[in-house]
Structure 1
Amino acid sequence: MHNKKLLAIAWNVLILVFCLINLSNINEVQKIRIPHLDKVVHFVFYTTSSFLWSWALLNKKSSAYPLNRLLIVLGLILFGLMIEFLQDILPTHRSFEWLDVLCNTAGVLFGTTIYWIYTRWKPHNS
């Protein structure tokens, strides 16, 4: 398997693990309180994920480029939604939050935009 794909898969496994483990003690460990830090983390996780998947799978010379880009966006949004539902039904002491879904979606859109900008201004064979 290609290294770019392995990196994207590993990143999504990391997201899955961090979103499904019990983090109720994090406030005791965290020295500096940052409001809505978890929302920023969701945004960064999904920005990175969408960039990595775009980098691994998209070929701007392909006629399927727009469809593949759409599939990456929809797939990652559904992945985030699935994790939110799992948080609600598994004994993780976490719950479904629409704001997390919004932050995930914003991250996916931002990551694919960053990838588009990256490929637009840096010509290469991707």
Structure 2
Amino acid sequence: MSFGDKIFHFLAYTVLAFLWYNTFFNTFRLERRKALLYAALFSIVFGIVIEVLQGVLTTSRSSDVYDVMANTMGVFLTVIIVFIKNLITIKK
């Protein structure tokens, strides 16, 4: 297990979830909580699907449950950051 690889997965999915949140909130005008929920679900499901497909469709790559865990933790970081930001914004 490459620790650097897991950090990359973590950071990539932090960014991915944030981009999905911005898309749902700013483009589709969903309410903040719903946008955050959809962003988290889409990102986590995407990460799982990609890992499964790597194991099933390729011979040069394999599925890695630790990649899914790193991806999910990155998504949760986005959820925490956006949630705290929204709390601060709403209180002002």
Give the TM bin, normalised by the shorter chain. Answer: 0.7 to 0.9
1:16-72 deviation per Cα after TM superposition (whole angstroms, max 9, x unaligned):
xxxxxxxxxxxxxxxxxxx5110000000000111122123226xx78432332222
Q: 1:25-40, aligned counterparts within 5 Å?
A: 35-40=2-7
Larger of the two Rg values belongs to structure:
1
The 4+ residue runs of structure 1 with deviation greater than 4 A are: none
Query: Which of 3, 10, 14 is the matching residue for 1:47?
Result: 14
Distance in 2, Cα, partners of 1:118 & 1:67: 15
Structure 1 counterpart of 2:38, one-letter code:
L
Which residue among 44, 49, 63 is the counterpart of 1:77? 44
TM-score normalised by L of structure 1: 0.58
TM-aligned CA distance change 1:67 to 1:119, over 3 Å: closer
| RMSD of equivalent CA atoms | 2.3
- Identity over aligned pairs, percent: 36
The residue aligned with 2:61 is 94
How many angstroms does 1:122 deviate by?
5.3
**Structure with more of its chain in helix, by fraction:** 2
1:105 aligned residue: 72
Is 1:67 aligned with 2:29?
no
SS at match of 1:93: coil
The alignment of Structure 1 onto Structure 2 pairs a total of residues equal to 87
- TM-score, structure 2 normalization: 0.77
